[in-house]
Structure 1
């Protein structure tokens, strides 16, 4: 879809095409690093809505975000670990559906403000071992309880350790952890990018 490459605008009745900086392009994470596991929950019914909200199971991110995530993956591989992503770019129309079910800004961004996901600058993910098996974490994905909070410590040491490994390596490469969701990270610089509502199947 050409919208990801240039912006059409008019001046004095004439149309112009302005090419966008490469970092604004949405890219498929597996074209950047195919070793990053992808299990997009909203492309299935295995999510808190019980509905399939995406038509394709792909992780799209702004290119600069994808490159940082590639660095995270390469770093983790030194220790026999890797990443599995659950959600990346999310169209604004899907954000509105999530908000209609859980209108709580601790866990779901108000679509009136937009989510970092809607900007292609946030990712939900977890750690996997060298065989692709998920490491134990404090909760499952989209658990809207205090156990998912980063400051919740009434947990076995192994779960705290795994959560900390993920948080530290993400922060090392410029990702900001969300306090209420151990799996959610925003990329530094997200505020420079606009909210999008392009369906995933239209991104090429």
Structure 2
């Protein structure tokens, strides 16, 4: 019995010793081999941010599509698909807003998703630096659109990051029919006499947009169904910095 006991003890000691050496070898291989890395040790590339975007971030503006990835962004002035046919945002592809407006926009998106998860807000324009407003004003001089673009000397709510232009789209990014396209200059774009120009479905779509936006605290304007303000201009001038 004693001999059998000694044999069992000897086998156990050998097993523990071998396992310990194996584990030590594995650990040393992982730590000493420069070719072996963990996921945490791999440096992730930083997103490329333009000087304009960095300036907006430094001013405290928030990228709303980073706050909620379900928001859809199609900045029309970053393309030629706008009424000027000129690229005005040549270094901007994300939508930025003042934190107050951003908070309200995220709430509006949540309200919309609660009504229909297959729909999303589609942003056409948000914070607009005064430098871009000046460029837009210059581009339309001598054209039929001259009367529709505010003089940069009279700052607007886009220039404070407090206004947003948007619509509603489906999961494929197709905008709902609102009766007119974005930046349509005509009475059909107004919200005061829609029954005279729009179909029942178009009115329903606009009402849905207004419902979620006003439910989140935004204000409408009479002439543009797509435009919403988070504050009045007087309040924005008191509490928000002008985006140069």
Classify the TM-score, shorter chain: 0.7 to 0.9
After superposition, the C-alpha distances for 1:157-176 in whole angstroms (9 at most, x for unaligned) are 11111111111211111111
* CA distance in structure 2 between the aligned counterparts of 1:183 and 1:31, rounded to whole angstroms: 22
TM-score if structure 2 supplies the norm length? 0.68
1:86 aligned residue (107, 114, 124): 124
8 Å contact kept, 2:79–2:87: yes
Partner of 2:40: none
Higher relative contact order structure (alpha carbons within 8 Å, sequence separation ≥ 6) = 1
Q: Which runs of 5+ in 1 are unaligned?
A: 6-23, 198-204
Please identify the structure whose Cα radius of gyration is greater. 2
CA separation of 1:140/1:112 partners in 2, compared to 1, >3 Å: closer, same or farther? same
RMSD: 1.8
Q: Which runs of 5+ in 2 are unaligned?
A: 1-53
After superposition, the C-alpha distances for 1:21-60 in whole angstroms (9 at most, x for unaligned) are xxx7101111111110000011111101111111221101
Partner of 2:107: 71
8 Å contact kept, 1:32–1:67: no
Partner of 1:43: 78
* CA distance in structure 1 between the aligned counterparts of 2:107 and 2:158, rounded to whole angstroms: 20
Looking at secondary structure, tell me which structure has more helix per residue.
2
CA separation of 1:82/1:4 partners in 2, compared to 1, >3 Å: closer, same or farther? closer
1:99 deviates by 2.9
TM-score if structure 1 supplies the norm length? 0.80
8 Å contact kept, 1:4–1:25: yes
1:133 deviates by 2.1
Is residue 2:64 matched to residue 1:29? Answer: yes
* CA distance in structure 1 between the aligned counterparts of 2:149 and 2:222, rounded to whole angstroms: 13
Looking at secondary structure, tell me which structure has more strand per residue.
1
Partner of 1:201: none
3-state SS, counterpart of residue 115 of structure 2: coil
After superposition, the C-alpha distances for 1:1-23 in whole angstroms (9 at most, x for unaligned) are 47855xxxxxxxxxxxxxxxxxx
1:179 aligned residue (211, 222, 227): 222
